Structure 1
Amino acid sequence: MGAVDGEDYVQSERTKINTHRKARRTFSVFLWTTALPLSLGFFFVLCSFPLLWPVLLGYLTWVFFIDQAPTHGGRPQGWLRRCRVWVWFAQYYPVSLIKTADLPPDRKYIFGYHPHGVIGMGAIANFGTEATGFSRQFPGLRPHLLTLANNFNLPLYRELLLGLGIASVSMKSCQNILRQGPGSSITIVVGGAAESLSAHPGTADLTLKRRKGFIKLAIRQGADLVPVFSFGENDIFGQLSNARGTRLYKLQKRFQAVFGFTLPIFFGRGLFNYNVGLMPYRHPIVSVVGRPISVKQKDHPTSADLDEVQGRYIEELKRIWEDYKEVYAKSRTKELTIIA
């Protein structure tokens, strides 16, 4: 084999390896985005077997009337959080986590994640799994990503969430987790469903001004607040125009009022093409964890207390944006804006 042939062979093998890497990363993202319908579909298949009805009835009874895990921090399994598939999931975009300050494990923490994005893929990778090494960067902390309580009414899918340590975002759940003592931490995607409608590429519009429930929770529990800004979260999907005041926007807000969540009309790439589909685009997501905002514990914080802590929180969030925007938001179309 000549030198040229040898180089061609090496290049061919490298191409194959890169193709395989891209394929498994894409497949891992596809598995997560389809986990809900696949879980429900499999459950309904099980329902087609009469012999399984007693077992399924017992399971549903346990889900709806007995199991308290969704409000007590889930059932985190280390092997599941460290599963290799989550590393592939994070490498797809890729997702990375930047630490800017130490978080001693003798405190309790509430991480505020911004922006929500369409789905919040960065939150899943960084706080719902060990794909980016959360426990390595913040040793001694027990992370719990929070989501809508309704997700825990979905058979089988709920077991995946609970195994990752994901729990309900209800106030009862937040209190139960933080009362577990030092090292307890929760991650709340503060903007919620309302902010997902503002998730357009190149923008950073945050729904935050009137979001004071997590501030009050932090003061009552004596937990430090930690702002997290995730550069690129809004760039992995496109979204049909839904400007405030339009008929589409009003319809989505009405849907949110009834069901507690909304449905952004989004688009991305396909599983086997880069033109159109519902898979997220490959765009880096960089989550910068800011400095902790210390609070003084009070059982009954006043409005002035809430405003003062919120002011410090927003100031730190803006600092993160200003310090990192020229590195991770070069293609932005506007600056950070707090819209509500």
Structure 2
Amino acid sequence: MGQQATLEELYTRSEISKIKFAPFGVPRSRRLQTFSVFAWTTALPILLGVFFLLCSFPPLWPAVIAYLTWVFFIDQAPTHGGRAQSWLRKSRIWVWFAGYYPVRCVSADLPPDRKYVFGYHPHGVIGMGAIANFATDATGFSTLFPGLNPHLLTLQSNFKLPLYRELLLALGICSVSMKSCQNILRQGPGSALTIVVGGAAESLSAHPGTADLTLKRRKGFIKLAIRQGADLVPVFSFGENDIFGQLRNERGTRLYKLQKRFQGVFGFTLPLFYGRGLFNYNVGLMPYRHPIVSVVGRPISVQQKDHPTTADLEEVQARYIAELKRIWEDYKDAYAKSRTRELNIIA
């Protein structure tokens, strides 16, 4: 991780004058990988920019108004399984995207006659491994888990963003609301959803070499699985926290309190992260090239109950955490050699 000089070093030591530019002789395959990651990380501002550009042409206003009416009052796709397009999920651009880090998936045996709730850990700054594994077919989800229909879940607010929402829906990404989760699992055997359990709170703990998980108080996804009779599947992505650096924001610091206050108001937070650039290796906001290995754990079966008790939730959670810890212990020496501390469930 030598390239990951801290932001403080870059500016307080005038390291900005020592930018390490990429050579002209970089292979075409690596250029394509970098472009695909850049395209994804800039998709939101680009698509919003296109939308506002369209709004600047008065002849298009009737179409814009009709589209916004559709988005805010009519379209139910975000809570009804999305509009996944196989051609997009299997597009070559996602193979380049996964190859950039690279991302790969270590699978488990998941029969297609069951319903599944995947719990993804850790959140990381953005969750690139979750995108590659569960929102695309770049790492071979359809081959590794034949018969399963995956849906990566994200905040409902993302589906209020014009044009960008259409990209999410075409990838099969849906709202993480309870209504959405229930509608997906009610589709029957083979239905599967992926929840990045730690959420915004965990993104603030995404520092290279660490694995601090926000999990103890996260029981909503467990209650969902019990009510729907779905198996719980923990997924741990080694390397997810290593693709970005982040300003020091230990609990109790002024920066951490400010970020938590922002989260309380807007529902998400803004990690102050840094990475590499499009044409250099040490200054920018693109992720570093660092392997991400997502290990899919053994499914945890539950007894279906419409009204699970607190004891039911705690018993299933204990089994879930035990399986997550098993994954860590079995694979940490292979995929987390540069760790600075062990797996830690902080909240």
The interval holding the TM-score normalised by the smaller chain is over 0.9
Does the alignment pair 1:276 with 2:283? yes
Question: 1:12 corresponds to which residue?
Answer: none
Question: 1:136 corresponds to which residue?
Answer: 143
Please give the secondary structure, in 2, of the residue aligned with 1:291. coil
Question: 1:27 corresponds to which residue?
Answer: 35
Q: How many residues align?
A: 325
Distance 2:42 2:102 in 1: 19
Q: Which amino acid aligns with 1:306?
A: L
Question: 1:250 corresponds to which residue?
Answer: 257
Distance 2:122 2:46 in 1: 27
Question: 2:301 corresponds to which residue?
Answer: 294
Please give the secondary structure, in 2, of the residue aligned with 1:230. strand
Report Cα offsets for 1:284-308 as digits up to 9, x if no partner.
0000000000000000000000000
Report Cα offsets for 1:163-213 as digits up to 9, x if no partner.
000000000000010011100000000000000000000000000000000
Q: Compute the displacement of 1:275 (Å).
A: 1.4
Question: 2:70 corresponds to which residue?
Answer: 62
Q: Compute the displacement of 1:73 (Å).
A: 1.2
Distance 2:322 2:287 in 1: 31
Q: Which amino acid aligns with 1:120?
A: G
Report Cα offsets for 1:96-136 as digits up to 9, x if no partner.
0001x311111100000000000000000000000000011
Alignment of 1:35-114 (within 5 A): 35-99=43-107, 101-114=108-121
Question: 1:146 corresponds to which residue?
Answer: 153
Q: Compute the displacement of 1:17 (Å).
A: 8.7
Q: Which amino acid aligns with 1:288?
A: V
Between the aligned residues of both structures, percent identity stands at: 82
Q: Which amino acid aligns with 2:88?
A: L
Distance 1:280 1:287 in 2: 17
Distance 1:167 1:177 in 2: 9
Q: Which amino acid aligns with 1:277?
A: G
Q: Which runs of 5+ in 2 are unaligned?
A: 1-22
Q: Compute the displacement of 1:326 (Å).
A: 0.3
TM-score by length of 2: 0.93
Q: Which runs of 5+ in 1 are unaligned?
A: 1-14
Does the alignment pair 1:330 with 2:337? yes
Does the alignment pair 1:216 with 2:223? yes
Q: Which amino acid aligns with 1:281?
A: Y
Computing the radius of gyration over CA atoms, which structure comes out larger, 1 or 2? 1
Q: Which amino acid aligns with 2:206?
A: A
Please give the secondary structure, in 1, of the residue aligned with 2:151. strand
Question: 1:156 corresponds to which residue?
Answer: 163
Q: Which amino acid aligns with 2:82?
A: G
Alignment of 1:167-186 (within 5 A): 167-186=174-193
Distance 2:312 2:318 in 1: 10
Q: Which amino acid aligns with 1:234?
A: N
Q: Which amino acid aligns with 2:64?
A: L
Does the alignment pair 1:304 with 2:311? yes
